Amino acid sequence: MPQWRKNGIVDRDAFRKAGENGFLMVWPDEKYGGLGDSDFRFEQIIIEETCRADCHEFFATVHSRLVGPYFEHFGSDEQKERFLPPCVSGKKILAIAMTEPGAGSDLAGMKTTLRQDGDHYILNGSKTYISNGINADLIIVAAKTDPENDPYAMALCVVESDMQGFARGQNLEKMGLKAQDTAELFFNDIQIPKDNILGDPRKGFFYMMQGLAEERLIGATQMSAAARKAFEVTREYVMERRAFGKAVADQQNTQFKMAEMEAEIDMLQVFVDHCVALHNQGKLTAVKAAKAKLQAAEIEWRMVDLGVQLHGGAGYMHEYPICRMFLDARISRILAGTSEIMKLIIGREVFSEQYKSFFE
Ligand X SMILES: Cc1cc2nc3c(=O)[nH]c(=O)nc-3n(C[C@H](O)[C@H](O)[C@H](O)COP(=O)(O)OP(=O)(O)OC[C@H]3O[C@@H](n4cnc5c(N)ncnc54)[C@H](O)[C@@H]3O)c2cc1C
**Which positions from 329 to 348 touch ligand X by CB under 6 A, shown as an x/- string?**
--x--xx--x-xx--x----
Q: What is the DSSP letter of 168?
A: E
∠ CA 132-137-139 to the nearest 5 degrees?
70
By the 8 A CB rule, do 115 and 190 touch? no
Q: Which of 134, 153, 133, 131 is nearest to 143 (CA)?
A: 153
Residue nearest to ligand X (CB): 104
What is the nearest approach in angstroms of ligand X to the Cβ of residue 116? 24
347 SS3 class? helix
CA 53 to chain CA mean position, Å: 18
When asked if residue 182 is in the footprint of ligand X (CB under 6 A), the reply is yes
Distance separating alpha carbons of residues 302 and 194, to the nearest angstrom = 47
- Contacts with 226 (C-beta within 8 Å, 6 or more apart), sequence order: 51, 56, 300, 304, 325, 328, 329, 332
CA 98 to chain CA mean position, Å: 13
When asked if residue 98 is in the footprint of ligand X (CB under 6 A), the reply is yes
**Which positions from 302 to 331 touch ligand X by CB under 6 A, shown as an x/- string?**
-----------------------------x
Phi, psi of 255 (to 5 degrees): -65, -45
When asked if residue 10 is in the footprint of ligand X (CB under 6 A), the reply is no
What is the nearest approach in angstroms of ligand X to the Cβ of residue 140? 10
**Which positions from 38 to 77 touch ligand X by CB under 6 A, shown as an x/- string?**
----------------------------------------
Closest to ligand X by CB, 32 or 59: 59
- What positions carry a catalytic annotation? 215
Residue from 93, 130, 154, 223 in contact with ligand X (CB under 6 A): 130
What is the nearest approach in angstroms of ligand X to the Cβ of residue 277? 27
> Contact positions toward ligand X, by CB under 6 A?
95-99, 104-105, 129-131, 174, 177, 182, 331, 334-335, 338, 340-341, 344
